[in-house]
Structure 1
Amino acid sequence: MCAKVTSIGLKGMEGYRLNVEVKTFVGNDSIRIVGLPDAAVKESKERILAALRSLGYSVNGQKIIINLSPSEQKKSGPMFDLPMAIGVLLSLNELLISIPENTGFIGALSLDGAIVPVEGMLPAVLAARRLGIKRLYMPYDQKLPVLDFDELEIMYISKLKEVIENLEGKGGSFFPPKIDEIDLHNNNFIDFQQIIGHKGTKRALEVAAAGGHHVLMTGPPGCGKSMLAESFPSILPPLSKEAKLEIIALHQLSGISYPNANYPPFRNPHHSASGISMIGGGTYPKPGEISLAHRGVLFLDEIAEFPKKTLDMLRQPFENGKITISRTHATLTYPASFILIAAMNPCPCGYAGSNTHYCTCTPRQTHSYQNKISGPLRDRFDIHLTIKPVDLEFETEKGKISSKYFQSRVEAARNRQYERYGIELCNSRVSYDTLQKTSPLTQVQQKNIHQLAAKKNWSNRTQIKSIRLARTISDLDGKTAITDQSICEAVNLR
């Protein structure tokens, strides 16, 4: 008899329906797995044999062939142990039931028949939901949130015997153990209220958070660049349920856990980080820093110290919000929609233009240092800020406005954008055609922008970014159209 069981295969974050086909016939005791399996999948036959024998099933005198379809896709990981074991039981007529095609199975087997979680389960669940799977059997993982979808029924199981009993109608639904709720108000981000001065910079960061704009900060050492960047996530709105699951899935694929998915991720790689660690890669590509910062913040402190080749790799995700990694074994695409906050000194010594320190750099050294960031990359930043040290003698009080106030304004501005575009899309990534249709400029405004662009030799990208910034500022002010005041402020931020 030939049996067929449904599972989920992964290609990066993208999932596909995987059919486990099992055929048994009389012959030498053996199990062969075909369909481009890797070493972990090939070893599944030993786990399956041990688990079945521990439950009292016999496979003596049987030759078993398991085909993982589609055969042209490379299969990796032990996630197909459970569907292969179910397929073997169906093929041997030990399980006399009919399993619908919209019922899926994922999970690894222990030698005693226990079902254990593996890496990549959450991306597989999200893929199953997109593929129209109605019921999914999977082990419970304490590192993952309890999943609850209207269109997908999750059956949490811990043993192969429980799956068999449930399929035969002898067992009921399985529920994961209750866990304590995460404290939504407990975070380690610096509050804007703790930062002295920098009123204009806080306003610029509010605009960046509202529209998802990238920021480049330049200033001498100790002026507060790092502190401002580390406080930036505190004004971002809370993540939606879909965003939380997407972030946890990316971290699971990279092999690390995300401790608190209620807040946007904040990644701060060191300037010695390699290009592969930044964009992702490896023999079987895994997400890099830009993907782990998806829907959050990527902070590059001392950006001029990063290798120029590594920085230029950021150009594609800057514009597209995703990264495609091509390797010999696979070509994968990961999401990488982040807000980049970069900080740098004005010169190698850091004190060019300072009123309190003497700069020891020559003009050639300063020019060479600034050129470490290529023109195309610098042009992709929406907001350029020059940070000055705060004189504590005159500004002794901390900020009077907390991050919660800024966060409420940012959330309201983003909701206006989502309503205007019909999807969860910020002004920084909306196409120019859509921007023109939803928020057209007046003839006078267009003329003024063109004259300014010609005077300052702005590129087309810079002009469009200025309009997007103006649109975000108008959203913060609750205006339905782009105002002249917002255009003026946007030009100053550029």
Structure 2
Amino acid sequence: MSLAVLSGRALFGLQVRPVQVEVHVGGGLPSFSIVGLPGAGVRESRERVRSALLSSGFEFPAGRITANLAPADLPKDSGRFDLPIALGVLLASGQIADAGGGVPDVRHYVLVGELSLTGAILPADAALAIALSVARGDPQASLIMAPASAGVAARVPGLRVLAAAGLDEVVAHFAGRAELPAAVPVHDDPRDEAPVPCLSDVHGQAAARVALELAAAGGHGLLLSGCPGVGKSMLAHRLPGLLPPLSSEQALEVAAVHGLARSRPSLSRVPPFRAPHHGASMPALVGGGAHPRPGEISLAHHGVLFLDELPEFDRRALEALREPLETGIVTVARAAGSCTFPARFQLVAAMNPCPCGWHGHPHPRRECACSSDVIARYRARISGPLLDRIDLHVSLGVEAAWLEAPPGEPSAQVRARVVDARQRQFSRQGCLNADLDGAALDGHGNPDADGRALLARAASAWGWSARATRRTLRVARTLADLDGADRVEAGHVGQAIQYRPGGAA
């Protein structure tokens, strides 16, 4: 045969798209062309494929070779197309035949791998993202990758993944001489996971611990404000220990996103916790680059994003969080196209009340040295619309007797109540209270008559926006769930009001 058609995969952000690799070998002056909008990494495949074929004991056809990567309007980069191109050259030049002497059936195979000059298959980036795409796109497909990548891809349930160390092994498989082995899923060693800090380490700050439980139960954003050293960061680091373990599907999604960031994809059931430095740029937070990669908000998908020293972050970077907080996704636009990353994270932020940190917190030896103008400029670094999107605002004070305070409840006990409250939410409405909106919020979060009147008075007194008012309703619904109440009552509304700016005044 002079034409071979195989299947590969192109990666743009987290979007994995099928690519049809067509290889034609014909007469004419010897040449090797790759068409179909190839990037530099794909164009270099010509030299790698040529050397890999010769090193593996095959002939390189002395004719006009054309490899087309369709669709032609989809940009393609990296060396993951080496393997299907090399196999296509061998099939099109008639160097591979099955056990019956016919043409091997390659219709339900997806080949992904870069070739070394010796013919060895090198591991591919984003193996888990590619495997998830193959499993969802074609249940009958078999994925062939390097052993290291295949072990990661085999974590996807129901997908047949074959491990091939070299081009000669792939040829032997299609020729019927030796079957490629099924990849064995790589399992993480639980001992490699860092221990999750326990809430019992926190002495005192009872109100803040209650707010932390409330945030975990309903998926609400949390802003901790207080002078230096009162425990803001300590509390934030203990939120993942209050959240329920990730489901298998969620763990796969998180590992796929982390694989795109070139980090080791771990299938941990512990929700991720990301704490970027306040010098992080906007692309570092939301994602970007010439070849888009996920930012911190996507690496915190299904987990917690902690922004310490919130006013010190670049304002443009903070403003870029507004849409992901509402939608749970972030779209990065580039000249080659737009790609979407998941970003359903829980925001926890911490800040001082002023640049020196002591405004509003009397201390026998320290006084606030900031003028009113300095304090106003400091707080103006955070926009009102962003603050409006944070459900819980908690002020922490200095507790002089915290050494004598008994340890708080262990995280396991609090997590049990959080799990119970979340189960009530999912069984009632299919989502967390933080995601309730529109008719669903009106139906499930509607308080009794006294609660509605109390909420109306608070919204009028402090000039709340419609968003702030509805977010208060979501918090009240979570408080009712923690109490095991079917209806939101006035007491729940009154407590929820305390968590809005000005509500505790």
Is 1:243 the counterpart of 2:244? The answer is no
Corresponding residue number in structure 2 for 1:115: 121
Q: Find the aligned partners of 2:488 and 2:175 in 1 and give their Cα distance.
A: 63
Q: Quickly say closer, same or farther: Cα 1:144–1:457, change in 2 above 3 A.
A: farther
1:191 aligns to 2:221 (yes or no):
no
Q: Identify which range, 344-353 or 412-421, moves more after superposition.
A: 412-421
Against the structure 1 CA distance between its residues 120 and 259, is the aligned structure 2 distance closer, same or farther, given a 3 Å change threshold? closer
Aligned to 2:217: 210
> What SS does structure 1 have at the residue aligned with 2:148?
coil
Structure 2 counterparts to residues 307-386 of structure 1, below 5 A: 307-356=314-363, 357-386=366-395
Which of 414, 417, 429 is matched with 2:422 structurally? Answer: 414
Give the match for residue 293 of structure 1. 300
How does 1:134-153 map onto structure 2 within 5 Å?
A: 134=140, 135-141=142-148, 145=152, 147-153=154-160
Q: Report what 2:441 is aligned to.
A: 435
- 1:279, 1:144 → 2: CA distance? 30
In the alignment, structure 1 residue 458 sits paired with structure 2 residue 501: no
Change beyond 3 A, Cα 1:17–1:324: same
TM-score computed with the length of structure 2 as normaliser: 0.91
- Offset of 1:383 from its aligned partner? 0.3
Change (3 A) 1:88 1:477: farther
1:361-420 superposed Cα distances (whole Å, 9 cap, x missing partner): 12222122111111111111110000112223x652442411111222222322333333
Contact 1:285 1:330 in 2 (8 A): no
- Structure 2 alignment gaps of length 5 or more: 98-102, 501-505
CA RMSD of aligned residues (A): 2.3
Per-residue deviation at 1:262? 3.0
In structure 2, what is the Cα distance between the partners aligned to 1:197 and 1:143? 49
Taking the aligned partners of 2:42 and 2:16, their CA distance within structure 1 comes to 17
* Count of residues in correspondence between the two structures: 491
- Deviation, structure 1 residue 158: 1.6
Cα distance in 2 between the residues matched to 1:338 and 1:351: 31
Which secondary structure does the structure 2 equivalent of 1:281 belong to?
coil
1:303 counterpart (264, 287, 310): 310
Secondary structure in structure 1 of the residue aligned to 2:134: helix
Distance 1:334 1:398 in 2: 43
Q: What displacement does 1:438 show?
A: 4.4
TM-score (norm 1): 0.93
- CA drift at 1:208: 0.8
Structure 1 counterpart of 2:136:
130
Aligned equivalents of 1:185, 1:442: Cα separation in 2 = 50
Distance 2:119 2:150 in 1: 22
Deviation (angstroms), 1:223? 0.8
1:280-324: CA deviation from partner (whole Å, max 9, x where unpaired):
112222111111111111111111111222211111111111111
* Alpha-carbon displacement from aligned partner over 1:166-213 (angstroms, at most 9, x marks no partner): 233333352446866522795333211111111111111111112211
Q: How does 1:79-94 map to 2 (within 5 A)?
A: 79-94=80-95
Q: Secondary structure at 1:216's aligned position in 2?
A: strand
Shift of 1:90: 1.8
Q: 1:213/1:88 Cα in 2 relative to 1: closer, same or farther (>3 Å)?
A: same
For residue 439 of structure 1, report the CA deviation from its aligned partner.
4.7
Q: Describe the superposition over 1:96-138 as per-residue Cα deviations: whole angstroms up to 9, x where unpaired.
A: 3343533211111122221111212221111112212522112
Separation (CA, whole Å) in 2 of partners of 1:146 and 1:125? 5
Letter paired with 1:383: L
* Distance (whole Å) between structure 2 residues aligned to residue 154 and residue 475 of structure 1: 44
Deviation at 1:443, TM superposition (A): 4.7
Match of 2:286 among 276, 279, 287: 279
Question: Gaps spanning 5+ residues in structure 1: where?
Answer: none
The match for 1:220 among 214, 218, 227 is: 227
Answer yes or no: is 1:390 the counterpart of 2:399: yes
Paired position in structure 1 for 2:16: 15
For the structure 1 residues 421 and 142, does the alpha-carbon distance in structure 2 shift closer, same or farther, using more than 3 Å as the test?
same
CA contact under 8 A between 2:79 and 2:114: conserved in structure 1? yes
Q: Structure 1 pair 185/177, CA: closer, same or farther in 2 (3 Å)? A: closer
Change (3 A) 1:180 1:25: closer
Q: CA deviation at 1:80?
A: 1.2
Q: Which residue does the alignment assign to 1:484?
A: 490
2:484 is the counterpart of 1:475: no
Task: Please name the residue that 2:59 is paired with.
Answer: 58
CA distance in structure 2 between the aligned counterparts of 1:375 and 1:143, rounded to whole angstroms: 48
Asked if the contact 1:284/1:330 (under 8 Å) is kept, the reply is no
Q: Aligned partners of 2:446, 2:151: CA distance in 1, in Å?
A: 45
Superposed displacement of residue 41, structure 1: 0.6
Question: Per-residue deviation at 1:345?
Answer: 0.8
Which SS does the other structure have where 1:285 is aligned?
coil
Contact 1:103 1:133 in 2 (8 A): no
Decide whether the 8 Å contact of 1:432 with 1:464 is kept in 2. Answer: no
